């Protein structure tokens, strides 16, 4: 009976080693908000030890009129490593998300500059106008997007109404509030990018008339999504339960 228990303990140790990895990886670590272009090539990023893999996430939101706000996060990764995940929403305001997971020391250094994401302020061709004028701004505080700090722009040909709203950009435990004013299409559809690891949640309203989007802005109170669980967590719990059951049964009989 003791031999059986030793075998089970040995098997459990082997499985635990396989699930958790033989050694920790070194990954770059950072969380930052950029207004405008971002470039990480000259930065000395700190390293962290990660049990499974490294990650890097870039989320960018734009008014469509050269007012970008970009969130960059690098650190440990607990999701499935299946290569790059890109997501590009065609609705307004335009946004883009790219997520990478990798399994080598300091491998989360691929996304270095703003060139890794598409141009979200590309003007239509031909560059005709709709005749509507709106306030345009994008910030992380209400005062960043006050009417006094907003630009006045003439809207592109397919955008004949004005939009104002607020929301959050979420990745793991990193959550950034956003406030926005811009031009919009008559459909007034504002759907941000979502993935299993990120979300851009926006809530706002549209109005007709020049410079009508100068009202007050309120941020959403939605909490950031929980970070993804490691795929091996459930297997580890099940293996632990099986081991306790196997060891507990003979001990109970011997009493």
Instruction: Report pLDDT digits (tens) over 121-172.
Output: 988 888 899 999 999 999 999 999 999 999 999 999 999 999 999 999 999 8
76 is in which domain, residue-wise? Answer: 25-114+127-207
Write down the pTM of the prediction.
Answer: 0.76
pLDDT at 58 over 60: yes
Residue 153 lies in a domain: yes
Based on the structure, what is the number of domains in the chain? 1
Residue 214 lies in a domain: no
How many Å apart are CA 7 and CA 119, to the nearest integer? 59
Residue 233 lies in a domain: no
pLDDT at 81: 65
Share of the chain above pLDDT 90, in %: 62
Residue 146 lies in a domain: yes
Range name among 17-31, 187-201, 238-252 with the lowest pLDDT average:
238-252
pLDDT at 213 over 90: yes
How many Å apart are CA 37 and CA 113, to the nearest integer? 8
How many Å apart are CA 188 and CA 193, to the nearest integer? 16
Residue 133 lies in a domain: yes
Residue 105 lies in a domain: yes
User: For 167-194, what is the mean pLDDT?
Assistant: 93
User: For 181-198, what is the mean pLDDT?
Assistant: 90
C-alpha dihedral sign at 114, 120, 121, 122? positive
95-119 pLDDT, tens per residue? 999 999 999 999 999 999 999 999 9
Residue 54 lies in a domain: yes
Q: Which of 201, 208, 212 is nearest to 166 (CA)?
A: 201
Which runs of E-coded beta strand occur in the chain?
Answer: 25-28, 30-35, 47-50, 53-62, 68-77, 84-89, 95-102, 129-139, 151-156, 161-171, 174-184, 198-207
pLDDT at 185: 94
pLDDT at 8: 45
Q: Which of 50, 64, 42, 43 is nearest to 21 (CA)?
A: 50
Could you tell me which residues come within 8 angstroms of residue 128 by beta carbon, excluding any fewer than 6 positions away? 156, 157
pLDDT at 214: 96
pLDDT at 250 over 60: no
Residue 41 lies in a domain: yes
Could you tell me which residues come within 8 angstroms of residue 51 by beta carbon, excluding any fewer than 6 positions away? 20, 21, 24, 25, 76, 230
pLDDT at 251 over 60: no
């Amino acid at each position: 009976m003791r031999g059986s228990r030793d075998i089970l303990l040995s098997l459990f140790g082997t499985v635990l080693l396989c699930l958790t990895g033989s050694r920790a990886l070194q990954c770059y670590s950072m969380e930052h908000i950029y207004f405008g272009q971002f470039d990480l090539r000259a930065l000395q990023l700190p390293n962290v030890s990660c049990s499974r893999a490294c990650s890097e996430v870039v989320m960018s939101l734009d008014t469509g009129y050269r007012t970008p706000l970009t969130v960059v996060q690098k650190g440990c990764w607990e999701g499935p490593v299946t290569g790059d995940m890109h997501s590009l929403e065609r609705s307004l305001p335009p946004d883009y998300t790219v997520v990478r997971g990798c399994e080598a020391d300091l491998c989360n250094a691929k996304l270095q500059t703003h060139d890794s994401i598409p141009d979200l302020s590309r003007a239509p061709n031909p560059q005709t106008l709709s005749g509507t004028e709106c306030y345009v701004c994008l910030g992380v505080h209400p005062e960043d997007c006050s009417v006094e700090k907003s630009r006045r722009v003439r809207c592109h040909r397919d955008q004949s109404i004005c939009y104002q709203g607020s929301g959050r950009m979420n990745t793991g435990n990193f959550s950034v509030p956003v406030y926005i004013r811009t031009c919009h299409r008559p459909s007034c559809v504002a759907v941000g990018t979502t993935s299993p690891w990120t979300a851009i949640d926006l809530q706002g309203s549209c109005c007709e008339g020049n410079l009508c989007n100068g009202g007050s802005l309120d941020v959403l109170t939605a909490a950031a999504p929980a970070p993804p669980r490691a795929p091996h967590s459930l297997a580890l719990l099940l293996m632990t339960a099986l081991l306790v059951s196997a060891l507990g049964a003979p001990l109970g009989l011997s009493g």
